[in-house]
């Protein structure tokens, strides 16, 4: 039977529920092992209680296996099964399931170590960081020119959710992760709940919290080049979707004219207007889809169609398709 047929069959067994079957196939013969290995390592979900250093060392020492990974997830062991309190709690005492403060701290991912091993993940297409903390290196680790060339590549999907920095780190999560990966472009960027809620850091006596937040975001981004992002998905506006955030995305983070779809939620008409300004600058002429959740606005507010009629049409690019959930 041609080897291509083996690859086609084994490609159906890359998901976790079939990994045991695929592992059994790899034991049949040396030939089957060689054919099955790329599929065994194509999708990896690494769940830890404390840190990911062991896995990163494994990747560093086995570049042949690292080169097979296409989808990689770093997650807390408590994320997959919150109901299993015994698995997630410390050994010395039980912790109640319903008290968030009682859960142990999320596992730590060293971004410096990730920077070193990332060039070896030559086929990586999707990366997810979920419910973890990241340790930001004080100085960027050295890398060979060849490694830098590998890093400057396209990621199809980057998901960053419920990610914070370690207590001794004060840097922003998103720029730190992007510095570690250095992708040339990201087809789909999905992120939410990064670091501490920016609203919590804004003094109550501030006259305009959005101005303060926007200035902080622009300062944190620094001189980094904008990203070529085709699809952007945000949710909680208090964390990543305020008017100040969208001004920052428009001015610094997203390459003008590249965005093809946006999914977000608006809690105020001020945010909605800034979303349209962001689309005017960063939206592609081939913009396909806008998913705008305005449920918090519709009660005791003017109809959305009336609001759009008084919004300058010059601020929006033509769209082939737009969907508004109301």
65-112 pLDDT per residue, tens: 899 999 999 999 865 555 454 444 444 444 445 555 556 788 999 999
Kindly indicate the confidence band of residue 271, based on its pLDDT and cuts at 50, 70 and 90.
confident
Listed in sequence order, the residues at least 6 apart from 221 whose beta carbon sits closer than 8 Å to its beta carbon are 172, 175, 248, 252, 253
CA distance 24 to 29: 10
pTM higher than the cut 0.85 = no
The string of pLDDT tens digits covering residues 293-326 is: 887 777 646 555 555 554 444 344 444 444 445 4
CB 188 within 8 A of CB 158: yes
Q: Give the pLDDT of residue 110.
A: 94
At residue 262, φ and ψ (nearest 5 deg) are -140, 135
**Cβ–Cβ < 8 Å for 187, 231:** yes
Candidates 260, 266, 255, 261; CA nearest to 296 is 266
From the centroid of its chain, how far is CA 199? 21
Helices 30-40 and 3-10: crossing angle in degrees, nearest 10, is 40
């Amino acid at each position: 039977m041609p080897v291509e047929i083996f690859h086609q069959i084994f490609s159906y067994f890359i998901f976790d529920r079939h990994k045991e079957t695929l592992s059994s196939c790899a034991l049949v013969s040396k030939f089957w092992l060689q054919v099955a290995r790329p599929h065994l390592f194509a999708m990896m979900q690494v769940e830890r209680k404390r840190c990911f250093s062991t896995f990163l060392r494994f990747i560093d020492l086995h570049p042949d296996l690292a080169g097979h990974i296409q989808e990689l997830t770093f997650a807390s062991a408590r994320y997959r099964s919150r109901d299993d309190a015994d698995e997630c709690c410390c050994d010395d005492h039980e912790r109640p399931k319903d008290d968030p403060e009682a859960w142990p701290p999320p596992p730590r991912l060293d971004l410096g170590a990730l920077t070193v091993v990332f060039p070896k993940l030559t086929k990586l297409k999707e990366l997810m960081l979920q419910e973890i903390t990241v340790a930001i290196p004080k100085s960027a680790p050295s890398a060979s020119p060849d490694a830098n060339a590998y890093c400057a590549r396209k990621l199809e999907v980057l998901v960053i959710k419920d990610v914070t920095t370690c207590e001794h780190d004060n840097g922003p999560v998103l720029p730190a992760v992007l510095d570690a990966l250095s992708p040339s472009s990201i087809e789909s960027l999905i992120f939410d709940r990064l670091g501490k809620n920016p609203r919590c850091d804004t003094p109550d006596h501030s006259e305009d919290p959005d101005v303060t937040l926007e200035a902080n975001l622009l300062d944190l981004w620094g001189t980094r080049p904008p990203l070529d992002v085709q699809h952007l998905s945000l949710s909680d506006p208090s964390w990543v979707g305020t008017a100040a955030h969208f001004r920052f995305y428009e001015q610094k983070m997203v390459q003008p004219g590249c965005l093809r779809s946006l999914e977000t939620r608006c809690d105020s008409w001020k945010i909605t207007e800034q979303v349209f300004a962001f689309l005017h600058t960063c939206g592609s002429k081939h913009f396909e889809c806008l998913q705008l959740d305005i449920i918090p606005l519709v009660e005791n507010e003017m109809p959305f169609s009336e609001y759009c009629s008084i919004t300058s049409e010059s601020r929006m690019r033509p769209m082939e398709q737009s969907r508004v959930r109301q």
